[in-house]
Amino acid sequence: MKRKVLSAILIAAMTLSLAACGSKEAPADTAAPAEDAAPAAGDEEEPAPAGDAGSGDLITVGYAQVGAESDWRTANTESFKSTFTEENGYKLIFDDAQQKQENQIKAIRSFIQQEVDYIVVAPVVETGWETVLEEAKEAGIPVILSDRMMDVSDDSLFEAWVGGNFVKEGETCGDWLAEYLEAAGRGEEEINMVTIQGTIGASAQVGRTEGMANKLAEHSNWKMLEMQSGEFTQAKGQEVMESFLKSYDDIDVVICENDNEAFGAIDAIKAAGKTCGPDGDIIVVSFDSVKAAFESMIAGDLNATFECNPLHGPRVAEIIQKLEAGETVDKIQYVDEAYFDTSMDLEAILAERAY
Ligand code: AHR
């Protein structure tokens, strides 16, 4: 917090000298950021520059990232790294937890020890965070959650959360499937499904499973044969699909809780001598809408993908800037998300796609 005291002294000194000179020009330190400031990943707004970027007095941000399990995660990491640059007034301390909550807890404790100005966490799972968040609170370090949510009894333990509405994503998927089956004349047919879930206990898994369950309850002819975790990875997605295909010979739909699991599932389906996609034996749907999912739809393997936007770097920077300015921020900030299927002009969308 030494940085903040220094900033206050600097600002007071500048205000006094400006008043004495009667100048109307902003001091160099508070001028607009250089035009070559690093852009946010993709097509999102430019990252909010730190107010004291020119002074060499950087805002230190510790980011406890989940891991590198998917294309989505890679895009998310890139969004943070290209936003929290020195040019933009930040020092980013990045930690990859390799999908392990204990690693994230260690990273948060290390950020506290290093007296960072802000801690940002994309939590692996929702529960088990109270103790370490209390420690951050005691140290006076604001915590911002991004992507996945934490289930804590005291919401003063974090300043804000920004991410996708995972339940809505699951429901959108279910609604899409109902319309798709209806259009194919299969609205009344018994439909056998399997789900390759994400990391159990992660918001993206909990929400998507719940959203889809809400839609399953509306269709008595839909039957969920089995659900198993594919850990949000391609390799595990393939492994789980292989085992589903051994257990059931009449799968109509596979719901993959991220695109990478779908890529693995598609490999397993093909290896088993079956086909998938709009003209195939098995309907494959997934979440995220990364570039490779568009390629898979164009190739005729994947039917649809439900968007989860990973470009949270600029959004978190905006929250930090508001907090720095003493403004209040919305506690829960959902990001708008779409979906894509093979009825669309996928080549054109892919050409403009940021991740
Ligand atoms: O929390 C977002 C999810 O995490 C994305 O769907 C997935 O790809 C990632 O691993």
Nearest to residue 257, comparing CAs of 191, 334, 173, 158?
A: 173
pLDDT digits (tens, 9 = 90+) for 128-178: 999 999 999 999 999 999 999 999 999 999 999 999 999 999 999 999 999
pLDDT digits (tens, 9 = 90+) for 115-125: 999 999 999 99
Nearest-angstrom CA–CA distance, 26 and 171: 50
Structural domains of the chain in order of their starting residue, each with its CATH number: 1-38 (no CATH), 57-164+310-324 (3.40.50.2300), 166-308+340-351 (3.40.50.2300)
> Does residue 171's CB lie within 6 angstroms of at least one atom of ligand 1?
no
Q: What is the DSSP string of 246-297?
A: HH-S---EEEESSHHHHHHHHHHHHHTT--BSTTSSBEEEEEE--HHHHHHH
Q: How far is the CA of 148 from the centre of ligand 1 (A)?
A: 8
Query: Which ligand 1 atom is the nearest neighbour of the CA of 203?
Result: 1
pLDDT digits (tens, 9 = 90+) for 207-248: 999 999 999 999 999 999 999 999 999 999 999 999 999 999
CB 162 within 8 A of CB 172: no
Predicted local distance difference test score (pLDDT) of residue 46 = 53
- DSSP bridge pairs for 63: 94, 120
Q: Give the phi and the psi of residue 280 in degrees, each rounded to 5.
A: -105, -175
Residue nearest to atom 1 of ligand 1 (CA): 204
Nearest to residue 316, comparing CAs of 74, 81, 130?
A: 81
Q: Which of 65, 70, 197, 290 to mutate to test the pocket of ligand 1 (most atoms within 8 A of CB)?
A: 70
Residue 218 has a CB neighbour count (10 Å cut-off) of 11
Q: Is the pLDDT of residue 59 over 70?
A: yes
Predicted local distance difference test score (pLDDT) of residue 50 = 57
Q: How far is the CA of 58 from the centre of ligand 1 (A)?
A: 30
Residue in the structure block whose two tokens are 């609604």: 175
